[in-house]
Structure 1
Amino acid sequence: MDIIKLDTIETYCKTFDFRLTHPLVAVVECNEPEKLKPYMMNWGFYALFLKDMASCTITYGKTHYDHGDKSIIAFAPGQVCAFEAIPGKDPKFVGVLFHPDFIHGTSLGQKIMNYSFFAYSSNEALHLSPSEFQVIKHLIAIIQTELSTEIDSYTHNLLCDNIQLLLDYCVRFYDRQFTERKELNKDILIRFENLLNDYLINGKAEKQGIPTVNYFADQICLSPNYFGDLVKRETGKSVKEYLQQKLLDVAKEQLLDPQKSITQVSNLLGYQYPQHFIRFFKRMTGNTPNEFRLGI
């Protein structure tokens, strides 16, 4: 399958025969089967699609995007994904597209990295209730109306403000979705803890290095951002903080064994150089590993 490089919104509109009303921001609607054929896309801008029905499968690598009726899917610059229509179902969606250049120097530009759902690259779309669907649909309609209005000194700020409002509502609705999936989230945390124990205790860290967010997200088949948000919501700690605390706990336990040298403990935890482990331990506890052993 060929990759279509979508550097600009103009390229997107030309490729899929949508009308271009602004070079850096657009609202597009699709209700026709010929609009959505198998494609591999490399995004060069932000895109958020509101789907009224499940009409295609979306794949990142070997992982299918989990989405269905009344859902939102989002893409960020640099992402690559494949689209393939579901036989017998016509695509029906409305999308908001905006280029990074459009939001430079704005409040939205400063906040854009906080919208972590743009990097939920596997398994997790936002599934909407009927009332949430209407809210999102209404906000997109406001953006569409603004784009069809003659450009004046207010246009840019109003478009940015309404896109930001749309994204803020997505964050709110994702919070609701996380809450509804609390039992599933607990199962994921248990699996994470078991994987982490295995990694640190059974010698994997010594071979593969310090545990990382990406490693465990991949093991659990979630995107790093979604996995990080899940852990943060359930534990109050970022995955990085969670991993550091676990490293510290295991380090303390290993340091209590007088037969193991500082270098051996360092290697067991995945540190390439003992001095890096010593700095980590002192930053976390205020003491060096030797001081900890001596009870200082």
Structure 2
Amino acid sequence: MDNLIRFETVSDYNVFNNAETLHPMVSVIDMAKANPRHAYNMYFGFYTVFLKEVNCGDLRYGKNTYDYQEGTLVFIAPGQVVRVENTGETYQPKGYALVFHPDLIRGTSLGGSIQDYTFFSYHSNEALHISERERKIVLDCFTKIAYELEHAIDKHSRTLIVSNVEMLLNYCIRFYDRQFITRDEVHKGVLERFEHLLNNYFQTNRPQSLGLPSVAWCANELNFSASYFGDLVKKETGRTAQEYIQAKVIDMAKERIFDQSKSISEIAYELGFKYPQHFTRLFKQKTGIAPTEYRALN
């Protein structure tokens, strides 16, 4: 990849941004102290939380640009490559970044639950837009972490730093819950589109050739990341996206079971199951009875 800059360690990223390394595993960076930049690709070997404060430079992940404006937060997980773009020759970044290496949280409660913070897997049009009050909370968390970094490292340092990182991420879960509600216009019709997508899928021959639709496939068709889409469906319905798909499969199966000319195995293959016994197991799990019993009862 052209112009790829790899940041394997926190120290690498500190050097790039003219920031002092106070701790090898974590840093809070004032982006205004960094040198003016141009377009390039960045590989991150650690977790990164960006707080952008002015309109300068656009972040891209995958094929799309982040919905990333003044007063937004973007989360990047280790192993991701992000592109920075801007319309001019160079630009001056402004804002703050919290970066922490996976080794910092290994063996802690945060290390055990980091996968629950699904926003690290979000991408285009899925940045967190925060209010002025929320921004102050984020900056307060950054300040507390920075304070611990400036304090001489002792036996309490790691516990306090990790606790403040975890508090920040928990606040971000709350802010995202609020955003799912306040940005209703952006998400308007997602469930209707999801339902329409599934109906169309099962009315074609695609299940026989492609199998059951996955959450990732549905999310991609609806222009969401799998994580954001899954969280959105969960907030709207109380069910996971996978449970929603399974419910649709069972509804389709119930209709087709009435067709006595087809065996249960044929119906299973039509719906995209590779093995009929997997269909039977799911049907019984969701309805309490086997497909053959359901046919006999009805």
TM-score normalized with structure 1 length? 0.95
Instruction: Map residues 98-137 of structure 1 onto 2, 5 A cutoff.
Output: 98-137=100-139
* Structure 1 counterpart of 2:133, one-letter code: S
Query: Structure 2 unaligned runs (5+)?
Result: none
Q: Would you say 1:156 and 2:158 are equivalent positions?
A: yes
Shift of residue 255 of structure 1?
0.7
The residue aligned with 1:11 is 12
| AA of the residue aligned to 2:278 | H
For 1:29 and 1:263, the matched residues in 2 are separated by 61
Name the counterpart of 1:145: 147
Q: Is the CA contact (8 Å cut-off) linking 2:18 and 2:35 kept in structure 1? A: no
Question: Which stretch of the first structure deviates more once superposed, 78-87 or 141-150?
Answer: 78-87
C-alpha contact (below 8 Å) 1:38/1:85 kept by paired residues: yes
Using the TM superposition, give the Cα deviation of residue 231 of structure 1 relative to its aligned residue in structure 2, in angstroms.
0.3
Q: 2:196 maps to which residue? A: 194
Structure 1 167/73 Cα, relative in aligned 2: closer, same or farther at 3 Å? same
In structure 1, list runs of 5 or more residues that go unmatched. Answer: none
* CA spacing shift, 1:119–1:27, aligned 2, 3 Å: same
CA offsets 1:150-197 (integer angstroms, 9 cap, x no match): 111111111011111111111111111111122433411111110111
The letter for the 2-side match of 1:106 is: T
Output the amino acid matched with 1:205.
Answer: P
Q: Give the drift of 1:291.
A: 1.5
* Separation in structure 2 between the aligned mates of residue 221 and residue 33 of structure 1, nearest angstrom: 34
Q: Does 1:29 align with 2:30?
A: yes
CA shift for structure 1 position 207: 1.9
Dislocated runs of 4+, deviation >4 Å: none
Q: Which residue type is aligned with residue 207 of structure 1? A: S
Residue matched to 1:63: 64
Deviates more, 1:254-263 or 1:141-150: 254-263
- Separation in 1 of the partners of 2:154 and 2:33? 33
Structure 1 stretch displaced more, 34-43 or 237-246: 34-43
The one-character-per-residue Cα deviations of 1:81-131 (angstroms, maximum 9, x if unpaired) are: 211234375310211111111001112112211111111122210111111
What is the match of residue 279 of structure 2? Answer: 277
CA distance in 1, matches of 2:21, 2:36: 15
Contact 1:213-1:239 at 8 Å conserved across structures:
yes
Whichever residue aligns with residue 39 of structure 2, its letter is: P
TM-score (norm 2): 0.94
Q: d(CA) in 1 for partners of 2:263 and 2:194?
A: 29
Secondary structure of 1:20's aligned partner: coil
Which of 253, 256, 260 is the equivalent residue of 2:255?
253
Contact 2:37 2:91 in 1 (8 A): no
Distance across 2 between alignment mates of 1:271 and 1:4: 44
Identity of matched residues, %: 41
Output the CA distance in 1 between the equivalents of 2:3 and 2:274.
41
Q: Which amino acid aligns with 1:230?
A: L
Alignment-derived partner of residue 290 in structure 1: 292
RMSD: 1.7
In 1, Cα distance between the equivalents of 2:153 and 2:105?
A: 17
Q: Which residue of 1 aligns with 2:47?
A: 46
